[in-house]
Amino acid sequence: MSTGLAHQISDAIKAAMRAHDSTRLGTLRLLQAAIKQKAVDERVEPDDAAILAIIEKQVKQRRESIAAFDSAGRAESAAQERAELDILKEFLPQGAAPEEIAAALDAAFAQAADQGLQGGVAMGAIMGQLKKTLAGRADMAEVSAQVRARLNG
């Protein structure tokens, strides 16, 4: 793990060890294990983009867990997941402003229209474009919902 983001995570693990912050340490170790697993699976060192995708996946898992724990009335487990989510969010880039998301949506829809795409094909092309533009900076589930609403409306 020699990329900037990987180095940043490694430094954060060392700091959490020194501070005896078990929640932070556990979360960061899980993240580092996922990064190493990807390196082993693909036999290449993941770059910052690949690490960002891993972080996004873990953020999505935490959000789903929080929703499940909240609906099951397990407040303590949901609070633990929220704490882990906050730690993971530290390594994501600054969130995109709503205006930036709207502009990216407009550009992606314009590009799909120029290509004559409609329906599910347009959805795939638009989301592919938006993932490149907004990677790690917007909740892609919310963006997907906006795209779907706009395609159906």
* Predicted confidence (pLDDT) per residue in 77-108, tens digit: 999 999 999 999 999 888 788 898 889 899 99
- 16: DSSP letter: H
| Rounded-to-integer distance, Cα 145 and Cα 70, Å | 22
The pTM of this model reads 0.72
Kindly tell me if the per-residue pLDDT of 64 is higher than 70: yes
Q: How far, in Å, are 46, 79, 90 from residue 95 at the CA level?
A: 23, 22, 11
